Amino acid sequence: MAVAPPSCCLVAFPPRAKDGLVVFGKNSARPRDEVQEVVYFPAANHEPQSKVQCTYISIDQVPRSHAIVISRPAWLWGAEMGANEHGVCIANGAINAREPAAETEALLGMDLVRLGLERGSTAKEALDIIVALLEEHGQGGNYYEDADSCHSFQSAYLIVDRDEAWVLETVGRYWAAEKTTEGVKCICNQLSITTKIDAEHRELRSYAQSQGWWTGEDEFNFSEVFSPADEHLDCCAGKDSLEKQEESITVQTMIDILRDKASGVCIDSESFLTTASIVSVLPQNRSSPCIHYFTGTPDPSRSIFKPFIFVGDIKLVPKAQSPCFGDNDPAKKEPRFQEKPDRRHELYKAHEWARAVIANDQEQGRQLRKTMLELEKQGLAAMEELLTSSEPLDPTEVGDLFYDCVDTEIKFFK
């Protein structure tokens, strides 16, 4: 069974989070050489009976899809994490379970993240959409751009809006979900739902019994029933980090946790690297905008978190998007992945230089990182001011926000 990449998804609700804010974050652990891009898709109307081509299969399209911004491995259709115009954030993690994941191509967990964002206007609606699609189409296929081996996993999701969060954990077409409205919650690369189950597949328990994994007499504990027999259920490093915070959790707190390599939240190992990160702040006061900070580059300890706000006229950011290979993309042709094209975007290439300097030149690297953090600090302060302002948001001032931040970062590196 392939080792699931150790991504970490977190959320904190008031009063643990500061000033009536819900704070959401994720580190996406993926193969070290994989490029992630940050892409905005505007809301769109679709023709009746039309289809949408996901990573491996096509499914029925809906009449209208919401505006979304996502961070995704550049070779696939779905998303590792992202947000939509209604203040819904979704992230997923690969997990291993007692039942091996299917290698047959179906929906990837990452496809379901994007579909949930495109179609759900609340966390609960996104949850319902994801499980309906999971039950209809199943999940399966290669999680990596690798021609030599199929790496398939089950999926867990953290689905959040201004009011609540749902942890959704899946095994094949079966699933269980737990609702949270307070405190902190984290998902890592193993099952975490135990006996508090707020929604589930109608045949979940009978399926467990039919496999001989549950007698029907003991209390039903989802993670104990469906985890691999040899798996030791560790505490999640991200949850530990959140729970250790003595002060209110802020955007800066979440960024600091995602940068922490010593705790194991930020991954930099022989096989895996945190290839992109997100932090979102969702004010429970609906007159304030949700703000989503993306790195678009690997290793959050050496990256800048850049803000994005949904407004009507968003300026696209081609410098954070990978080259498009169309129908000639080796990920779209069968047999798949026979070649591995250069998917680096302009921001990624500029950041490669910065990472090399930080790694190889102590003094110059220290100065460079200090300046990067100053740039980020300015952006965070401006967004904090926007959240606390009594003035209504001026859409013309933030439509170029992410574009300008990416542009400034690239110019700085050059």
Residues designated catalytic: 9
Other CB atoms within a 10 A radius of the CB of residue 408 amount to 15
Task: Classify each residue of 263-299 as buried b or exposed e, where b means 16 or more C-beta atoms within 10 Å of its C-beta.
Answer: ebbbbeeeebbbbbbbbbbbbeeeebbbbbbbbbbbb
Tokens of 307: 């803000």
Q: Cα separation of 251 and 229, whole Å?
A: 38
* Inter-residue contact 277 to 26 (CB < 8 Å): yes
Task: Please state, in angstroms and as integers, the Cα–Cα distance from residue 195 to each residue in 9, 66, 177, 218, 236, following that order.
Answer: 21, 34, 11, 11, 18
Residue that has been written with the tokens 């021609």 in this structure = 147
Q: Is 177 helix (H, G, I), strand (E, B) or coil?
A: strand
* DSSP letter, residue 149: -
* Inter-residue contact 89 to 133 (CB < 8 Å): no
DSSP bridge partners of 11:
24, 185
Tokens of 30: 């993926």
Q: How many CA atoms lie within 13 A of 196 on its CB side?
A: 6
* Inter-residue contact 180 to 164 (CB < 8 Å): yes
Which amino acid is it at 65? S
Q: Which run of H or of E encompasses 40?
A: strand 36-41
CA angle 371, 374, 377 (to 5 degrees): 155
Which amino acid is it at 165? A
Q: What is the 3-state secondary structure (H, E, C) of 330-380?
A: CCCCCCCCCCCCCCCCHHHHHHHHHHHHHHHCHHHHHHHHHHHHHHHHHHH
